[in-house]
Amino acid sequence: MEETQTIQQMCTTFGVTPRTLRFYESKELLFPKREGTRRLFTRRDSARLKLILRGKRFGFSLEEIRQLLDMYNIGDGQATQFQETYRIACARLEDMERQRDELNEAIDELKAQLDWGRQLLHQETRTTD
């Protein structure tokens, strides 16, 4: 019971295309095993894909995501080059916090703008009576 998934199972559960999964493998974001020539995706791949898709929603590039995913693979001894990745993640975190703050401001402004729009829409042509 290796609990592996075929490419189509992955596609339906995650809402992506086969092309996307092959592309991610070519970019070393996923590492499915092979049964002959076919790909078999492990739980590890599923976990990584979940993080990849979330990262994308935050505007991370695939390359940045790859760097961040590597943070999860330091359990095996050498923390080689980990410090650089660590710095990247810290900087990125500050970016995200700034972005969240700006986002909050923008949301408020947009809400106000929409209220104004609502008033325009609901004017019952009473001014030209």
Partner DNA sequence: ATGATGCCTTACGTTAACGTCAATCAAAAA
Partner DNA sequence: TTTTTGATTGACGTTAACGTAAGGCATCAT
Strand, helix or coil for residue 38: strand
User: Considering CB distances under 5 to 8 angstroms, the limit depending on partner class, which of a copy of itself, DNA, none binds residue 23?
Assistant: DNA
Instruction: Give the whole-angstrom CA distance, residue 18 versus residue 83.
Output: 34
> 82-122 and 62-70 helices cross at what angle (nearest 10)?
130
Q: Which is nearer to DNA, 66 or 74 (CB)?
A: 66
* 3-state SS, residue 69: helix
Token output for 72: 């999860």
Measured from the CB of residue 51, what is the shortest distance to a copy of itself in angstroms? 10
Write the CB contacts of 127 (distance below 8 Å, at least 6 apart in sequence). none
Distance CA 62, CA 68 (A): 10
Least Å distance between CB 112 and DNA? 25
Binding to DNA (CB under 7 A) within 43-102 occurs at: 56, 61-63
Binding-site partner at residue 113 among a copy of itself, DNA, none, CB < 5 to 8 Å by type: a copy of itself
CB 17 within 8 A of CB 7: no
Q: Decide: is 14 part of the binding site for DNA (CB under 7 A).
A: no
Q: With CB cut-offs between 5 and 8 Å by kind, which of DNA, a copy of itself, none does residue 47 bind?
A: none
Give the interface with a copy of itself as residue ranges (CB under 8 A): 54, 57-59, 68, 71-72, 74, 79, 82-83, 86, 89-90, 92-93, 96-97, 99-100, 102-104, 106-107, 110-111, 113-114, 117, 120-121
